[in-house]
Amino acid sequence: MLKTIGKFLLAVAAIVVLAVAGVFAKATLQLGKIRDLPAPRLAVRTDSATIERGRHLATAIFKCVDCHGRDLGGREPFVDAGPLGLINTPNLTTGQGGVIRRYDDALLARAVRHGIRADGSPLLIMPALDYVVASDQDVAAVIAYVRSVPPVDRDHEPSTVRPLGRILYGIGQFPLIDADVVDHAAPPMEVPVGATVEYGKYLGSVGGCIGCHGPGLSGGKIPGGPPDWKPAANITPAGLKGWTETDFITALKTGRRPNRTPIDTIMPWRLAGQMDSTEMHAVWLYLQSRPPKPFGGR
Ligand code: HEC
Ligand code: HEC
């Protein structure tokens, strides 16, 4: 009897080990899988007005500097998730340790919109879900800006996903790669700049408001965020009940709600607060145009 139970337990243990090894192997393949996706051809102008537009976009709208650093020289560690892995952001300048020389304009546009490295492998964390709809003109301006920044000499270790992180990724509990889930066929949103709901929706998409606060803007746990991150707030008209447009702009510029309480810096208000008045107005109009919802359904 005991012998039979022993054999049974051994068999169960063997199956568990095999299943985990299978998930691990599949995740490892997926993490390095080359994606054969055409790189968008864009006309990149390099006049000073375009570069200045690109600087504004990389700061206040796309917020590239939030992750890649003010000087775009990269950050190490960017996210140290202990046993799950270590994510560093690369140096996007032409200095020593910079990666930008490996990218022509088309490959750079593909990295931004689709989250794919020059060699076709998927990028970790790069928010392609937000950027896939970025307009040709805006992507081109950001590229012009990135190429114009002064070189920074800074080398980084590449990011690594550790075994536990791979297993969690493999069972879908650690969303690391936007390139896995983004609709690569989504057409860019070509919306004229202006204080309109449509332009506000565009800014809300490429600016990450929708990515963090959810497609319904009602907030909740941010997918893929560390467990200690505060949930995103409800920014539908129900969540911002009683707020005026001035309260909204003040909140983004100062990081304080109308009742003076501070807004956590997971909310990138320092960068979003640098939107110009047309952009602020457009985003406010968009938020106000959405149906009110209770907190937490994203
Ligand atoms: C939320 C954080 C975040 C934001 C915002 C972000 N990136 Fe990244 N980016 C990353 C991370 C993390 C990596 C490295 C991924 C890896 O190691 O697999 C990366 C990698 C890249 C790469 C690939 C470089 C290489 O190693 O080959 C390029 C190019 C890039 N980012 C450009 C941009 C640009 C341009 C913007 C703004 C439009 C931007 N990123 C915004 C996090 C971010
Ligand atoms: C990286 C994720 C992230 C992005 C991107 C983001 N938010 Fe937030 N936001 C948060 C979090 C988290 C909170 C809650 C902070 C807290 O609890 O202190 C928040 C809070 C807010 C608040 C305060 C509301 C309240 O009642 O507390 C406003 C307003 C807001 N966000 C608007 C925006 C807008 C507009 C955008 C796009 C321009 C945006 N957010 C982009 C994560 C984000």
Q: Give the number of the ligand closest to the Cα of residue 69.
A: 1
Q: Which residues line ligand 1 (CB under 6 A)?
A: 58, 62-64, 66-68, 78, 87, 89-90, 92, 99, 103, 108, 111-112, 117-118, 123-127, 142, 146, 159
Residue nearest atom 36 in ligand 2 by C-alpha distance: 209
pLDDT value at 135 more than 90: yes
Q: Are 245 and 278 in contact (CB under 8 A)?
A: no
Tokens standing for residue 36? 């054969």
Q: What is the pLDDT of residue 20?
A: 87
Type of residue found at 210: I
Select from 245, 259, 250, 231 the least CA-distant residue to 288.
Answer: 245
Q: Are 84 and 174 in contact (CB under 8 A)?
A: yes
Q: Which residues contact 66 (CB under 8 A, 6 or more apart)?
A: 268, 271
User: What's the CA-to-centroid distance between 90 and ligand 1, angstroms?
Assistant: 7
pLDDT tens digits, 77-130:
999 989 999 999 999 999 999 999 999 999 999 999 999 999 999 999 999 999
Residue nearest atom 7 in ligand 2 by C-alpha distance: 267
* Separation CA 114–CA 167 (nearest Å): 24
Q: What is the pLDDT of residue 3?
A: 83
Q: What is the pLDDT of residue 62?
A: 98
Residue 203 pLDDT class (50, 70, 90 cuts): very high
pLDDT tens digits, 14-45:
888 888 889 889 999 999 999 989 999 999 99
pLDDT value at 183 more than 90: yes
